[in-house]
Structure 1
Amino acid sequence: MITALSIENYALIEKLSVNFSSGFTVITGETGAGKSILLGALGLILGNRADLSALKNSNEKCVIEAHFSISSYQLQDFFVANDLDYDAETIIRREILPSGKSRAFINDTPVNLSELQALGARLIDVHSQHETQALNDDDFQFQLVDAVAGNIEIVTTYQHTLKAYRKAQTTLQEKQVARAQAFQEQDYHSFLWEELVAAQLVAGSQEEMESQLEKLTHVELIQTQLAKVLSALQSESFGVVDQLKDSKNALSKIASFSPEYHLLLTRISSVLIEIDDIAAELQQGAEELQADPETLQNLQDQLQTIYTLQKKHQVQTIDALLEIQESLQSKMVSLTTLDEEIVQLEQEVSWYLQELEQLAQTLTQNRQAAVGPLVGEMQQIVANLGMPNA
């Protein structure tokens, strides 16, 4: 019900506030007292068109605000459907600007006139000489019949079931679209996945293969240079190792004479050990390094496959390719999951539809049974008002 109405700068009204208490409120007055102005302002709250002639002062805006207590009106679904903030104490405000533009707000949220009209029609019923809005409204007529038929609980159940049915149906349609799209892409995803699997990718192996490829590609140069280094280290008389050994022997003869000589002996001994280790590793590397055309070709083929895949998927590492491989596998698995979800949703939609059909049948039967007595009673009422043929 409306609990308060305030009007500013409208018609003859500069500023007015009216509070309505529970019960029956009557506003009386002789012709010209302004009763119709209040109804006109209320009509703007209901979404009627406005023009500049409604402004008392054309340089200031007109503001009309109405407060409604709607806790028993069951309008939550309307507010959700129109993306509005629901409040049991709802405020509707209409503004007419000096420019001629009009603005409307429901709980401080801007709305268009159609939304305002839809809500206003469910808040206020205007009865005038030639206009009784509610009697022409299908929803009101059904509410009246359902009240007589005792259908209120069934209607509520039907509404909740219908809402769940539509939600399930929408979800089903979305899943079907997703499945159709996934099905179209499945062959391509499967091809990409199989291509990656066939490459037998191993995380971190690319650097090792590239290093091995470099060795095998330049095996002769490497062998030549290793031999040169080994000759410099190990050749008799002039090799670094023999020279260091002679230096060590010379220092060992005088090391006891001074701490300084002893320290030099220790350092040259360490150098000799390090040089021996280097020579041993070079010798082992030279012996292990052999020309292997078959391995070289395999490495070149493997790396070329990796480079091609990296370019195709626009990544730089094997790890990134493995992530793509896992993602493709998940997409193929999700298609199976979508099939299962669609089957479940189809069963759910079918169940809701059967429930709706049963509820609708019960509603129809109850309404048909209630119409006869309701028509007879209404005819009797209007006959008593002096309208026997109504």
Structure 2
Amino acid sequence: MLTELAIRDFAIVDHLELELDGGMTAITGETGAGKSILLGALGLCLGERADTGSVRHGQPRADLSARFDIQALPAAKAWLNGRDLPEDDCLLRRVVTKSGRSKAWINGQPATIADLKSLGETLIEIHGQHAHQALLQEDTHLRLLDDLAGHRDDIVELADLYRQWQATRRKLKRLADDGDEIRARRQLLRYQVEELDQLALGDDELTSLEQEQENLAHAETRLTETQFALDCCDSDDGGTLPVLHQAVQRLNALPGSDTGALADALAMLGDACIQIEEAGRELGHVLADVELDPERLASVEQRLSEVHRIARKHHLLPEEIPALHARLASELGGLEGGDDDLEALTQDAEALKARWRELAERVSEQRRSAATRFGDDVQQQLAFLAMGKARFEVEVSRRDTAAPEGMDHVRFLIAANPGQPPRPLAKVASGGELSRISLAIQVIAAQHSTIPSLVFDEVDVGVSGATAEIVGQLLRRLGKDGQVLTVTHLPQVAAQAHHHLHIEKQAEEDTTLTRMEILDEAGRVGELARMLGGVTLSDQTLAHAREMLNASQRAHH
């Protein structure tokens, strides 16, 4: 229940603090006095959009707050608890600057505007004066019926199933549309990967093959030339070593007087003989390691030829083949099982469709049942509002296509006069009739609401006289166990209220301000008289107002 509303520098209000009670509170005042300001301030506390006109002229910001008693509101307590906010109090605050920017707090903690709106939906319900215009929109009919049916969780689940179903269908269509292309790509990849699997080129194999091919290809030449070098060193037929040995022997055979002069030459020749002998041994080792293997050479060259062929086929270097192999294998792995995916998605889509249809059937049954109750209840309220001969029906029919909200199309039908078939509201209801139908529907909606605080903003437009008195009785009845705030221009409605809030506009020097006060009994009589008779209040008008107030109060005791 809304217990306090504080307004500072908002529109033409400089400072105002209101304490509100349960029951029905009538809000009255002359046209333009600022009744809309009160609801506008409350709306901003509940997350409505702010604009630069919200701030009183000459002030930097507007500061608004609304306090609620939530002891009987488990949904609000759960909302606060879920965000680790205190549950024993609920204070919504909004500050709007003259530039249109705003900040919000919930129980002293910074909050977003979306938070205000979300929490506000659990605290108070506002029925605006233009609700009858929404009744001309048939989408509104479905929403109202669902609200009255009380199957919100089913509606949320139904919409979620529909979204999943449609998303799966879109994915399935993409797969089906791309199926031929994917299958062709998968077939090509399978051939290419199989060819590369057969090649099975290792990461370092190419370098090894090229080295081996070079060694094998030049083995015969290496053998011939090495043998020639070995023969030059150690051959009996003109080899270097025998000639050197012969030279040493002949020098050593010279007379002794000459050998001293040849000592250095003999030493060098001796060293040369040793070097050549070593060279011969090394050449012998090399010669022993030279392998002539024509078959292996042919095999290596064939392998290299296959590697280069595949590299040319894929327009890359031979050393890039292993990376290509890994990439194509990975892509093939991603495409493998595509037909299985198609089958699995088909099964998923069918399962989601079946679940959606099953729930849609249950929701449809709930709607048809609620439509009968709703139609009867509105019919009863229309009788109270001097439309007893009208016939109101809620039509629930099947849609041509599936939708997030199910398979139903809902329309409100009215036959304003006997003997006429019920037709859509927009085609048969006059302005005054539509106002009363709207009021009847809103009263029924409020009776089924779990929110005890209700605001009615001039919903009694278009009614008068005895009908207006009945409207007041209906609103008072709604406020019996909760809280109803109603903005009204009708004294018959205001007289039914438990409390009366008067709003007036006052000019002070160079500024205009709005004042609000809860009226006592004498004040109520005076305000009712003004509403009945205008500015000049005669004794007769005051007496009429007093009798109207006394009669309404006696009727409820």
What is the TM-score of this pair, normalised by structure 2?
Answer: 0.45
The answer to whether structure 1 residue 304 and structure 2 residue 308 are counterparts is yes
Structure-to-structure mapping, 1:39-54, within 5 angstroms: 39-44=39-44, 50-54=50-54
The alpha carbon displacement at 1:126 in A equals: 2.6
* Aligned equivalent of 1:255: none
- The DSSP-based 3-state class of the residue aligned with 2:125 is coil
Larger Rg: 2
C-alpha change, 1:297 and 1:144, in structure 2 (3 Å) is closer
- The DSSP-based 3-state class of the residue aligned with 2:56 is coil
* Aligned equivalent of 1:344: 344
For 2:120 and 2:326, locate their aligned partners in 1 and report how far apart those are by CA, in whole Å: 57
Asked if the contact 1:213–1:299 (Cα under 8 Å) also holds between the matched residues in 2, the reply is: no
Pick the aligned partner of 1:146 from 123, 146, 149. Answer: 149
Asked if the contact 1:52–1:98 (Cα under 8 Å) also holds between the matched residues in 2, the reply is: yes
The answer to whether structure 1 residue 11 and structure 2 residue 35 are counterparts is no
C-alpha change, 1:38 and 1:226, in structure 2 (3 Å) is farther
Bigger RCO of structures 1 and 2 (CA < 8 A, at least 6 apart): 2
The answer to whether structure 1 residue 72 and structure 2 residue 60 are counterparts is no
Which amino acid in the other structure matches residue 301 of structure 1?
S
The alpha carbon displacement at 1:383 in A equals: 2.8
* Aligned equivalent of 1:249: none
For 1:20 and 1:88, locate their aligned partners in 2 and report how far apart those are by CA, in whole Å: 28
For 1:191 and 1:104, locate their aligned partners in 2 and report how far apart those are by CA, in whole Å: 61
Moved more, 349-358 or 124-133: 124-133
Q: Could you list the per-position Cα deviations for residues 74-118 of structure 1 after superposition, in whole angstroms to 9, with x for gaps in the alignment? A: x99xxxxxxxxx85979987665444x55687984577xxx9989
Which amino acid in the other structure matches residue 349 of structure 1?
A
C-alpha change, 1:223 and 1:48, in structure 2 (3 Å) is same
For 2:371 and 2:306, locate their aligned partners in 1 and report how far apart those are by CA, in whole Å: 84
| Higher normalized strand content (fraction of residues) | 2
* Aligned equivalent of 1:259: none
Asked if the contact 1:216–1:291 (Cα under 8 Å) also holds between the matched residues in 2, the reply is: no
Asked if the contact 1:52–1:58 (Cα under 8 Å) also holds between the matched residues in 2, the reply is: no
For 1:42 and 1:60, locate their aligned partners in 2 and report how far apart those are by CA, in whole Å: 20
The alpha carbon displacement at 1:330 in A equals: 0.8
* Aligned equivalent of 1:364: 364
* Aligned equivalent of 1:253: none
For 2:354 and 2:84, locate their aligned partners in 1 and report how far apart those are by CA, in whole Å: 35
The alpha carbon displacement at 1:211 in A equals: 1.2
The answer to whether structure 1 residue 164 and structure 2 residue 161 are counterparts is yes
* Aligned equivalent of 1:202: 201
* Aligned equivalent of 2:290: 286
For 1:378 and 1:177, locate their aligned partners in 2 and report how far apart those are by CA, in whole Å: 49
For 1:4 and 1:350, locate their aligned partners in 2 and report how far apart those are by CA, in whole Å: 54
Q: Could you list the per-position Cα deviations for residues 296-342 of structure 1 after superposition, in whole angstroms to 9, with x for gaps in the alignment? A: 75245223225436744x89444323312421431342xx2x33233
C-alpha change, 1:60 and 1:210, in structure 2 (3 Å) is farther
Which amino acid in the other structure matches residue 43 of structure 1?
G
Q: Could you list the per-position Cα deviations for residues 226-266 of structure 1 after superposition, in whole angstroms to 9, with x for gaps in the alignment? A: 44665577667857xxx9xxxxxxxxxxxxxxxxxxxxxxx
Asked if the contact 2:11–2:53 (Cα under 8 Å) also holds between the matched residues in 1, the reply is: yes
* Aligned equivalent of 1:323: 326
The alpha carbon displacement at 1:207 in A equals: 1.4
Q: Could you list the per-position Cα deviations for residues 184-227 of structure 1 after superposition, in whole angstroms to 9, with x for gaps in the alignment? A: 14424532442353251231321122112333554565445544
The alpha carbon displacement at 1:354 in A equals: 3.4
C-alpha change, 1:358 and 1:167, in structure 2 (3 Å) is closer
C-alpha change, 1:197 and 1:360, in structure 2 (3 Å) is closer
Which amino acid in the other structure matches residue 194 of structure 1?
Y
Q: Could you list the per-position Cα deviations for residues 283-308 of structure 1 after superposition, in whole angstroms to 9, with x for gaps in the alignment? A: 24424265988557524522322543
C-alpha change, 1:352 and 1:34, in structure 2 (3 Å) is same
C-alpha change, 1:190 and 1:324, in structure 2 (3 Å) is farther
For 2:187 and 2:160, locate their aligned partners in 1 and report how far apart those are by CA, in whole Å: 39
For 1:371 and 1:291, locate their aligned partners in 2 and report how far apart those are by CA, in whole Å: 93
Structure 1: which 5+ runs fail to align? 77-85, 244-270
For 1:189 and 1:24, locate their aligned partners in 2 and report how far apart those are by CA, in whole Å: 74
The alpha carbon displacement at 1:379 in A equals: 2.9
C-alpha change, 1:27 and 1:175, in structure 2 (3 Å) is same
C-alpha change, 1:284 and 1:177, in structure 2 (3 Å) is farther
* Aligned equivalent of 1:388: 388
**How many residues were matched structurally?**
335
For 2:233 and 2:189, locate their aligned partners in 1 and report how far apart those are by CA, in whole Å: 54
Q: Could you list the per-position Cα deviations for residues 328-361 of structure 1 after superposition, in whole angstroms to 9, with x for gaps in the alignment? A: 431342xx2x332332332333234334434434
Identity %, equivalent residues: 23
Which amino acid in the other structure matches residue 41 of structure 2?
A
For 1:230 and 1:13, locate their aligned partners in 2 and report how far apart those are by CA, in whole Å: 119
C-alpha change, 1:285 and 1:368, in structure 2 (3 Å) is same
| Higher normalized helix content (fraction of residues) | 1
- The DSSP-based 3-state class of the residue aligned with 1:72 is helix
C-alpha change, 1:379 and 1:297, in structure 2 (3 Å) is closer
What is the TM-score of this pair, normalised by structure 1?
Answer: 0.60
* Aligned equivalent of 2:55: 55
Which amino acid in the other structure matches residue 329 of structure 1?
L
C-alpha change, 1:98 and 1:323, in structure 2 (3 Å) is same
Which amino acid in the other structure matches residue 344 of structure 1?
A
Which amino acid in the other structure matches residue 55 of structure 2?
L
* Aligned equivalent of 2:516: none
Q: Could you list the per-position Cα deviations for residues 7-43 of structure 1 after superposition, in whole angstroms to 9, with x for gaps in the alignment? A: 554224457777989x658586876986542312233
C-alpha change, 1:25 and 1:291, in structure 2 (3 Å) is same
Which amino acid in the other structure matches residue 187 of structure 1?
A
For 1:355 and 1:206, locate their aligned partners in 2 and report how far apart those are by CA, in whole Å: 59
Structure 2: which 5+ runs fail to align? 246-274, 391-557
* Aligned equivalent of 2:174: 177
* Aligned equivalent of 1:251: none
Which amino acid in the other structure matches residue 326 of structure 2?
E
C-alpha change, 1:195 and 1:387, in structure 2 (3 Å) is closer
* Aligned equivalent of 1:191: 188
Asked if the contact 1:217–1:296 (Cα under 8 Å) also holds between the matched residues in 2, the reply is: no
The answer to whether structure 1 residue 211 and structure 2 residue 211 are counterparts is yes
For 2:376 and 2:368, locate their aligned partners in 1 and report how far apart those are by CA, in whole Å: 13
Asked if the contact 1:7–1:17 (Cα under 8 Å) also holds between the matched residues in 2, the reply is: yes
